[in-house]
Structure 1
Amino acid sequence: MNFFPPVSPGLERVAVLERQIDASLERVWENVLDWEHLPWLHRKDFASIEPIEQGSWGWRVRTESTAQPGHPFTVELEVDLPEGHYVTRTLDGPSARTEIWTRLQPKGRDATSIRVEFWVPTFSKMSNEAIGKRYLALYQRLWSEDEAMMIERSEALRSKPVGKAAGESTVRIDLGTPSEVRARLPFCINFAGNTWRLCAVDDELVVHDAVCPHALGPLVDEPTEAEQPGQVECPWHGFRFDVRTGRSSDGRRLRLRTPPRLVEDTASGTLTLVMR
C-alpha cells in the first residue's frame, strides 16, 4: 500500500504497522471518530478522557495514560475522508510532536487494510528503535481490541429486529424450575428476536435487556465498584443501567428495552418468559 503522509518536518519514522481488520470501512471510520470508547474499551492504557473539540474534521481531547496518571496531555485526531487517511498528533506532554498516520483501504464487505506509520522527534537511533517497538506492541493490542468491538457491533446491527416481525412467532419460552434457573445464573437467552439476561439481585430473579441502547454493546458485566447492587456496565463506553428498572444509573438518560415477564407456572413448577 503506497502511502506518503504529509508529515511535519523534524520527525523520523520509527515503525510501520500493516494488518487487515475484519470489519467494514464504515465500521472502522466510525471507530476512529469515537473518542469516548478509549478509557473503557482500552482501560489498560487510558485512565481518563475529556473532550475539548470535535466535529466532522475529527476531535481534540485531554487524556491521561494509566502508565502516568495525573499527567494529562492533549491529543488531536484529524481525518481526511476523501484521501482515506487520518493523523493522530500529541500536542503536549512527554510525547509532544509525535504524529501517527493511518491509511485505510476497503478490502471487502467486512475487511479493511490499515497501514500505520509512527513518526517521532529525532533522538538517538537506539532510543527511536525502542520507541518504535513499543508503539508496534501497543497499537497491535489497541487495534485487536477495536476489531473485536467492531465485529460484535456489525453482528448486532445485522441481527437487530425490525418492528415486531422478528418476535411475533415466539411469545413464551420455558426455562426450567426455579432451582434449575438459579443454578445457571447469570445467563443470556435469545427470545423474541432479542437477547435478554437473567440474574439475581438481592435474591430476586431479574430479566433485563442484554444490549446497550447506545451502540449495541453487551450488557453482561457488573461494575466491581458499583455502590448499589443490580447494575450492569457496557464495556465499550461505560454506560450503566439499573437492571430492575432499566433506567440509566450514570445520569446519561438512556433506558433499556422493557423485558419479558418472568412467570412461574404453579401447576408444573417451571419458570417461563412471556412477552408483555
Structure 2
Amino acid sequence: MADLVRVAEYQRDFGASLERMFENALDWEHLPHVHAHAFSSIALVEERASGWRANVGTPQGGELLIDLELDRETGCWTTNSYAGEALIGRIVTHAEKTGPDSCRVGIAFLVPDPDSAQRDAFAGYYPALYAMLYDEDEAMMIARAGAVERGPAALGERRMIELANGETEELPRYCPHLGLPLDAEPDTDGTITCPWHGYRFDIVTGKCISGAACGWAV
C-alpha cells in the first residue's frame, strides 16, 4: 500500500461538550439525513462500542466503505475510507474539552501517495467540506444537549398540526429516538419523518414504521 500523506488540516471550536462530540462521531445513522449533500445512503456492516463500519453511498452514485474507530481516553478517532479493497483516505480527529459545554477538534486528512495537483486540490476541498459538515453537526449536537437537559419528561410535550384534509392531529414536539426536535411536516402518506435520523412514524398510532423500537403512545 502507498504511504499516506497529510494533505490538509482543519481546526474548530464547538459550542457542544466533548461527550456530545463523541456521541456524534459514533452516530452513523445521521449521515444521509443531516448531510444529504455528501451522503445519499448508509448500510451498517458492523457496530461496536468503539466505532462502526458501513457502506455509504454518495450523491454522485459511488459507494465507499467507511470504518471509524474511537478511543475515548485519548480523545482521538480514525476514519478510514475504502473503495473496494483499496484504502483511499484516512481522517484522524483529535478532540479536547475546553469547557463544560465546549470542545475543540483538530483534524488531519491523509491520502495515499498524492501528486502535487492532488495535494493542492485536497488542501482546499477537505477543510471546506468539513466546515460545512460540522456546521450541520454542531446544530445537531446543540439540539441533543438540549434534549439531555430537558430529560425524558419532554417527550410528553405535544404540538398541533393541520393535515391536508383539514383535520388536526397532535404530535410530539421531540422525536422519541433521541429527543431531538421533531419539527418536520407530515408526509402525504400519513407519516412523519425525523429530519435527524430518518425514522418514520405513523402520525395516528405513533408507531415507528421504519423498523426502530421507538414510538409514542396516543
Please say whether Structure 1 and Structure 2 have the same fold, judged by a TM-score greater than 0.5.
yes
> Residue 233 of structure 1 aligns with which residue?
193
> Residue 200 of structure 1 aligns with which residue?
162
The Cα RMSD (Å) is 2.2
Contact 2:40 2:58 (C-alpha < 8 Å) held by counterparts: yes
Question: Which stretch has the larger CA shift, 117-126 or 23-32?
Answer: 117-126
Higher CA-based Rg: 1
Q: Share of identical aligned residues, percent?
A: 36
Alignment deviations for residues 207-233 of structure 1 (CA, whole Å, 9 cap, x no partner): 11121111112212136xx461x3221
Contact 2:92 2:109 (C-alpha < 8 Å) held by counterparts: yes
Alignment deviations for residues 132-152 of structure 1 (CA, whole Å, 9 cap, x no partner): 211111111111111100101
> Residue 216 of structure 2 aligns with which residue?
256
How many pairs were matched up?
Answer: 217
Q: 1:94 to 1:144 in 2, by over 3 A?
A: farther
Contact 2:155 2:173 (C-alpha < 8 Å) held by counterparts: no
Matched, 1:243 2:203: yes
Contact 2:155 2:179 (C-alpha < 8 Å) held by counterparts: no
What TM-score, normalized to structure 1?
0.73
> Residue 151 of structure 2 aligns with which residue?
160
Matched, 1:138 2:129: yes
In the alignment, the residues of structure 1 paired with residue 152 and residue 175 of structure 2 have an alpha-carbon distance, to the nearest angstrom, of 14
Contact 2:174 2:182 (C-alpha < 8 Å) held by counterparts: yes
- Flag as ranges the 4+ runs of structure 1 deviating above 6 A: none
| Aligned partner letter, 1:209 | P
SS of the residue corresponding to residue 244 of structure 1 reads coil
Higher RCO, 1 or 2 (CA under 8 Å, sep at least 6)? 2
SS of the residue corresponding to residue 197 of structure 2 reads coil
- Structure 1 stretches lacking a partner, 5+ long: 1-7, 163-191, 259-276
SS of the residue corresponding to residue 19 of structure 2 reads helix
Matched, 1:53 2:16: no
In the alignment, the residues of structure 2 paired with residue 193 and residue 138 of structure 1 have an alpha-carbon distance, to the nearest angstrom, of 34
Contact 1:105 1:112 (C-alpha < 8 Å) held by counterparts: yes
Q: 1:72 to 1:138 in 2, by over 3 A?
A: same
Q: 1:196 to 1:50 in 2, by over 3 A?
A: same
Q: 1:64 aligns with which of 57, 61, 75?
A: 57
What TM-score, normalized to structure 2?
0.91
Q: 2:178 aligns with which of 187, 212, 215?
A: 215
| Aligned partner letter, 1:213 | P
Q: CA deviation at 1:9?
A: 6.7
